[in-house]
Amino acid sequence: MEWLLAVLVLLGLGVFVLPRARLRYVLSQAFPLNYSKILRKNLPGYSRMPTDLQMQLKRRIRQFLYQKTFVGCGGLTITDEIRVTIAGKACLLLLNRESDVYPQLTHVLVYPSAFVAPRTQMNTGGVVTHTNQGLSGESWSDGRVILAWDQAAHNPENEARGQDVVLHEFAHQLDSETGSTNGAPDLKTAAAYKAWSQVMEREFSQLLHAIENDMPTIIDPYGATNPAEFFAVVTEAFFKKSQDLAHYHPALYTQLRNYYQVDPCDWI
Ligand SMILES: [Zn+2]
């Protein structure tokens, strides 16, 4: 029996200790020069970020690339540029925070361009409708994010609109870590949830009002779909239209700054 116990202990060590030792080894390696080049090319603002945030970002990217599997779909071959760009944008949302690197996420599926997702909806009369939607991104709570590379790459049109599908889908991932994707990520304290819900509800209503009255808004109208989409689009605005969001929606900006623990106005 003793030998059996010894085998079990060794197996336990293998399961729990080796992956952590391997991760420590991976994180201790130098960040490849071509990865830095990709970040400078595809992450606007990266070059202006404070050095400590750049260092944190590189460490998170290494962990992301070590732990997540990228799958090329629709004939796409996964390259370093695809992996590092997506990991870089995803890990922007983790800086300065006590958070693991998307613990529920296992796979990132990447299509060359908009992909078709079959949808089945049942109305109250029991009629089932099948639709085919062209999508640029999807986040699933079962451990998958799906992205269209032509939208996830550095895209001048999306840049001009302050939109970023990678930030959007990974905000959904953070939202779903609480067990329900409802627009409120893990905020740690009851006081933080209270302040968050007061500001988000008010801002959500203001967005609905602006849309109904054809008023201009810097927040993507898609955010009015529901609170989860609102959190995803204001996350995009926080990182891509920081100055405007801070100016026109200071209370919302403050909530996002408290949660994300960074102030992108410092480098955008
Ligand atoms: Zn969404």
Give the model confidence (pLDDT) of 74-88 as tens digits.
Answer: 999 999 999 999 999
Q: Which residues pair with 7 in a beta bridge?
A: none
**Looking at 57-61, 105-109, 140-144, which range is the least confident one?**
140-144
Cα of 151 from ligand 1 centre, angstroms: 14
| Alpha-helical segments (H) within 68-112 | 80-92
Residue 132 — pLDDT band, cuts 50, 70, 90?
Answer: low
Torsion over CA: 218, 222, 228, 232 (sign): negative
Length of the chain: 268
CA of 267 to the centre of ligand 1 (A): 26
What are the tokens at 252?
């919302």
Residue 127: pLDDT band (50, 70, 90) is: low
| pLDDT tens-digit series, residues 235-255 | 999 999 999 999 999 999 999
User: Which CATH code for domain 182-268?
Assistant: 3.40.390.10
List where CATH 1.10.472.150 sits in the chain. 29-121+128-154
Tell how far the Cα of 178 is from the centroid of ligand 1, in angstroms. 17
Ligand 1 centroid vs 168 CA: distance in angstroms? 6
CB atoms within 10 A of CB 230: 23
What pLDDT, on the 0 to 100 scale, is given for residue 129? Answer: 59
Q: Which residues of 2-24 are buried (b: 16+ CB within 10 A; e: fewer)?
A: eeeeeeeeeeeeeeeeeeeeeee
Contact 255, 212 (CB under 8 A): no
Q: What is the pLDDT of residue 125?
A: 60
Residue intervals in the chain for CATH 3.40.390.10 = 182-268
At 151-191, the pLDDT tens digits run: 999 888 888 899 999 999 999 999 999 999 999 999 999 99
CATH of region 29-121+128-154: 1.10.472.150
Q: How far is the CA of 19 from the centre of ligand 1 (A)?
A: 33
Q: Report CA(138)–ligand 1 centroid distance (Å).
A: 7
For the four alpha carbons of 247, 249, 254 and 259, in that order, the dihedral sign comes to negative
Rounded CA separation 145/181 (Å)? 14
How far, in Å, CA of 155 to CA of 148, rounded? 12
- Give the environment of ion ligand 1: residues with CB less than 5 A: 229, 232
Q: Measure 107 CA to ligand 1 centroid, in angstroms.
A: 18
Write the CA distances from 30 to 35, 36, 121, 122, 232, integer angstroms: 11, 11, 49, 52, 33
Q: Phi/psi class of residue 180: alpha, beta or left (left: φ > 0; alpha: ψ in -120 to 50)?
A: beta
Model confidence at 29, in pLDDT bands (50, 70, 90)?
A: confident
From the CA of 133, how far away is ligand 1's center (Å)? 14
Banded pLDDT at 117 (limits 50, 70, 90): confident
CA–CA separation, 86 and 149 (whole Å): 9
